[in-house]
């Protein structure tokens, strides 16, 4: 069959990517048409303004007052109608641009275009066992790729799913079921992002909002003070009106003076609410829009999502309504920002006390149920991020967890990790190379030898990061992945610490000791250990002695894993320990250059390439032969 050489670039793209590209083209056309219509509205507004101006001035100059007034009234009315439609169009165009931005970022996530993916820092727990080694956080990391959360609590929940592993089996089952249910609901996920970002790009700060909603400005004299100030304001208005009509004198100044003194004396009591009001009323509006969208949708086909959103649907008053009212009250309280306006409004009546009183009543009603809203939002937010990752990678399969056996053992017949065509999700599809790996039973170990730059460290990270994805409830970059829940222990990136006074070697020893201690805990889940270049911080003799002892200890512990090394002498352990299997990565030499296929092969590595690399880079090395075993 002759290949189709006339295919366009878009036709060569994966189906999901091609769909996004097509959608972005349609959105661009709609936005272009919308801008043209907006320009016409602008022209019409200018035309109506000019026509109304001259159409009213000229008749007045000619003495046709009635005609001039009628022309002015009609032009003002017409201008307001056109302006209303124009503003409505601009609002829709704004939302359309936000929608475009969401789709463009999705495309960037599929293509690993890191510069176009928003980076939001995620705090890694101090001395975390594997987060840094496996590139879970930081620029160009897994969380950089998949973090589509819209709230700070959602981001924390998502990070905890990766940092606090393994989960309980029931937790994992529920989490993956919710994520799988959300995966085809791309409109739901994107609408939530749109509603949250319609006003500003900042996350919804759930903890701060909840703290404000639960913080009451209370005082025994609050209600009497509100009543007193209200009566004084009414008295001042009555006396001022009587003075204007009957000329009774400036007695209103006495009541107003008392009112002003009381106002200044209680002004500080609402300072805390005001400090939050300026910055939080917009966040409350965004949160209200997000919850409002969830309240309006049907949940007949999504039982997991319905169960999660039940607290939103069982309230007598919709949460979105309460939050919208709270946002409105805080917006009115934020009038204090311009001091002159604030004093003028409060001079007429107790504006601050009145709205603070109503905010208190609203807080009393929602303080007990608001934590449920933020809890479900955090869970939904994190699951939606994993669902978006699954939706953008439809070729990634869902991992299957080995269930408990009849005796209740959490790992069934024994711990297992069986991954076929496993690849690294942070490497582009064109560049990454897939390999198979199977662990069955405790103590199973692969001793990985190989040349420099042949892919040993990347292979460790590939296994670790996909295991993290599986245990978080997400799909994995493989063709199949069957495993039992594991604790992950890694020693890949080790740095010395000037602050802690730790040398590189001592830091490495402490990491390895932590892994070994965890394998001695026979009651917990097995440990997946990923150790790169064991004891690379010391000399050859001591490295060999320490390496043999560590591998023998790990082989007898609760877990399985891989150890990479340049010391080919350690390959002899395969004949001494039945749990150890030698595998390797190897390079080829062509036209004076090294080439790597990154394929895992059985047996110890038959070649080394350190001298050849030195020679290729121009170091004074004599005859860099390829050493064979």
CATH number, residue 512? 3.40.50.300
Q: How far is CA 483 from the centre of its chain?
A: 26
* Residue 147 · residue 381 · CB < 8 Å: no
| Under 8 Å between Cβ of 158 and 165 | no
Distance CA 530, CA 457 (A): 9
- Whether 245 maps to a domain, the answer reads yes
Check: CB of residue 324 under 8 Å from CB of residue 285: yes
- pLDDT the model gives residue 149: 94
The set of long-range contacts for 611-615, using a CB threshold of 8 Å and a minimum separation of 24, is: 613/452, 613/453
Integer Cα distance of 110 and 141 in angstroms: 14
Q: Please, are residues 446 and 581 in contact by the beta-carbon 8 Å criterion?
A: yes
Q: Give the three-state DSSP class for 501.
A: coil
Q: In terms of domains, do 230 and 285 share one? A: yes
DSSP-based three-state secondary structure for 520: coil
Domain final residue, candidates 348, 379, 410:
379
Nearest to 464, CA basis, from 391, 531, 374, 396: 531
Which positions ≥6 away from 559 have C-beta within 8 Å? 415, 442, 443, 486, 487, 489, 518, 519, 526, 527, 528, 529
The answer as to whether 495 is a domain residue is yes
Query: Are the C-beta atoms of residues 442 and 414 closer than 8 Å to each other?
Result: yes
User: In terms of Cα–Cα distance, which of 27, 25, 23 is closest to 15?
Assistant: 23
State pTM to two decimals.
0.85
**Of residues 282, 468, 299, 326, the one with CA closest to residue 380:** 299
The token pair at 504 is: 């590189």
Task: Count CB atoms within 10 A of the CB of residue 549.
Answer: 11
Sign of CA dihedral 294, 298, 301, 303: positive
Q: Could you tell me the CA-to-CA distances from 466 to 134, 181, 517, 572, 613 in Å, in that order?
A: 10, 21, 24, 30, 31
Indicate whether 612 and 546 sit together in one domain: yes
Rounded to whole angstroms, the Cα distance separating 279 from 529 reads: 47
On whether both 418 and 542 belong to a single domain, the answer is yes
Describe the crossing of helices 152-163 and 206-214 by its angle, rounded to 10 degrees: 120
Are both 417 and 549 inside the same structural domain?
yes
Sheet containing 435-440: which strands, arranged edge to edge? 400-401, 480-483, 416-422, 435-440
Backbone angles phi, psi at 286, to 5 degrees: -65, -45
Look at residue 78 and give its three-state secondary structure. helix
Report the number of distinct structural domains present in the chain. Answer: 3
Q: What does the buried/exposed string (b/e) look like for 114-142 if buried means 16 or more CB atoms within 10 Å of the residue's CB?
A: eeebeeeebebeeeebbbbbbbbbeeebb
Local structure of 564: helix, strand or coil: strand
Would residue 156 count as lying in a domain? no
Token pair belonging to 108 = 């960037």
Which pLDDT score, from 0 to 100, does residue 323 have? 85
Alpha helices in 122-168 (DSSP H): 142-146, 152-163
The whole-number pLDDT of residue 219 equals 61
Is the same domain home to 473 and 418? yes
**Rounded to 5 degrees, what are φ and ψ at 596?**
-120, 135
Last residue of a domain, one of 114, 139, 168: 114
556 Cβ neighbours under 8 A, 6+ residues apart: 443
**H or E element, residue 480:** strand 480-483
**Per-residue pLDDT tens for 248-264?**
888 888 888 888 888 87
**Is residue 120 in some structural domain?**
no
- Asked whether residue 285 is domain-assigned, the answer is yes
Q: Are residues 295 and 429 in the same domain?
A: no
The DSSP symbol for 403 reads P
Would you say residue 201 lies in a domain?
A: no
372 and 502 housed in the same domain: no
Beta bridge partners of 617: none
In a domain, 47, yes or no: yes
Say whether both 82 and 212 belong to one domain: no
The residue segments making up the domain with residue 307 are 206-379
Confidence at residue 363, expressed as pLDDT on a 0 to 100 scale: 76
φ, ψ at 18 (rounded to 5°):
-65, -40
At residue 117's C-alpha, the angle toward residues 292 and 377, to 5°, is 25
- Mark whether 372 and 469 lie in a shared domain: no
Q: Measure the CA–CA gap between 234 and 109, rounded to whole angstroms.
A: 61
Place of tokens 């000019």: 50
C-alpha 402/C-alpha 166 separation (Å) is: 14
Q: How far apart are CA 65 and CA 76, in angstroms?
A: 16
- 76 and 20 in one domain? yes
Q: Which helix (H) or strand (E) holds 271?
A: helix 271-296
Domain boundary among 332, 347, 379: 379
Does 500 share its domain with 358?
A: no
pLDDT (tens digit, 9 = 90+) per residue, 159-217? 999 999 999 999 999 999 999 999 999 999 999 999 988 767 778 888 888 877 777 66
- Whether residues 256 and 371 fall in one domain: yes
| Res 189: pLDDT | 95
Q: Is residue 491 part of a domain?
A: yes
- Give the length of the chain: 629
> Residues 349, 233: contact at Cβ < 8 Å?
yes
With the C-alpha atoms ordered 292, 305, 203, 211, is the resulting torsion angle positive or negative?
positive
Residues of the chain with pLDDT below 70 are 1-13, 199, 216-222, 267-279, 315, 335-338, 404-413, 496-502, 589-594, 607-629
* Pairwise CA distance, residues 477 & 425, whole Å: 6
């Amino acid at each position: 069959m002759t290949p189709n050489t006339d295919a366009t670039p878009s036709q060569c793209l994966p189906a999901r990517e091609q769909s996004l590209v097509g959608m972005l083209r349609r959105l661009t056309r709609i936005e272009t048409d919308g801008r043209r219509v907006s320009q016409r509205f602008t022209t019409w507004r200018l035309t109506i303004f000019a026509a109304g101006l001259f159409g009213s001035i000229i008749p007045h100059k000619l003495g046709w007052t009635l005609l001039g007034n009628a022309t002015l009234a009609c032009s003002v009315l017409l201008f307001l109608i056109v302006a209303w439609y124009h503003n409505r169009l601009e609002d829709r165009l704004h939302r359309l641009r936000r929608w475009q931005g969401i789709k463009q970022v999705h495309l960037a996530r599929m293509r690993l275009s890191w510069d176009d993916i928003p980076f939001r820092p995620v705090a890694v727990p101090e001395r975390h066992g594997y987060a840094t080694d496996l590139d879970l956080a930081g620029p160009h990391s897994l969380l950089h790729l998949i973090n589509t959360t819209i709230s700070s609590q959602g981001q924390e929940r998502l990070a905890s799913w990766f940092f606090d592993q393994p989960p309980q089996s029931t937790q994992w089952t529920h989490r993956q079921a919710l994520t799988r249910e959300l995966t085809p609901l791309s409109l739901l996920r994107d609408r939530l992002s749109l509603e949250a970002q319609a006003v500003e790009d900042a996350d919804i700060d759930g903890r701060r909002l909840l703290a404000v909603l639960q913080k009451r400005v209370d005082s025994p004299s609050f209600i009497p003070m509100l009543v007193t100030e209200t009566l004084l304001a009414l008295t001042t208005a009555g006396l001022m009106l009587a003075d204007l009509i009957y000329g009774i004198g400036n007695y209103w100044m006495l009541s107003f003076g008392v009112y002003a003194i009381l106002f200044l004396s209680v002004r500080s009591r609402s300072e805390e609410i005001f400090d939050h009001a300026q910055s939080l009323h917009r966040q409350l509006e965004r949160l209200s829009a997000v919850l409002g969208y969830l309240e309006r949708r049907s949940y007949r086909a999504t039982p997991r999502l319905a169960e999660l959103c039940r607290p939103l649907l069982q309230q007598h008053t919709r949460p979105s309504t309460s939050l919208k009212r709270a946002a409105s009250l805080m917006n009115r309280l934020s009038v204090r920002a311009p001091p002159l306006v604030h004093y003028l409004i409060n001079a007429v009546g107790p504006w601050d006390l009145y709205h603070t009183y109503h905010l208190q009543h609203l807080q009393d009603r929602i303080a007990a149920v608001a934590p449920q809203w933020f809890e479900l939002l955090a869970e939904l937010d994190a699951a939606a991020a994993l669902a978006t990752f699954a939706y953008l990678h439809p070729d990634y399969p869902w991992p299957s967890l080995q269930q408990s056996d009849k005796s209740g053992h959490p790992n069934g017949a024994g711990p297992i990790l069986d991954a076929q065509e496993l690849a690294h999700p942070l490497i582009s599809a064109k560049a990454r190379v897939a390999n198979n790996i199977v662990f069955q039973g405790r103590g199973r170990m692969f001793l990985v030898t190989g040349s420099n730059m042949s892919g040993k460290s990347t292979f460790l990270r590939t296994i670790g990061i996909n295991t993290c994805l599986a245990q978080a409830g997400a799909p994995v970059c493989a063709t199949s992945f069957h495993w039992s829940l594991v604790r992950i222990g890694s020693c890949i990136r080790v740095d010395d610490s000037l602050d802690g006074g730790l040398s590189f070697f001592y830091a490495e020893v402490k990491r390895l000791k932590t892994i070994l201690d965890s394998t001695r805990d026979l009651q917990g889940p097995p440990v997946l250990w990923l150790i790169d270049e064991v004891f690379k911080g010391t000399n050859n003799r001591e490295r060999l002695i320490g390496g043999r002892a560590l591998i023998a200890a790990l082989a007898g512990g609760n877990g399985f894993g891989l150890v990479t090394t340049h010391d080919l002498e350690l390959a002899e352990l395969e004949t001494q320990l039945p749990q150890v299997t030698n595998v390797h990565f190897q390079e080829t030499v062509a036209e004076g250059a090294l080439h790597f296929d990154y394929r895992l092969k059985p047996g110890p590595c038959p070649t080394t390439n350190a001298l050849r690399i030195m020679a290729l880079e121009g170091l004074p090395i004599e005859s860099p032969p390829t050493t064979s075993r």
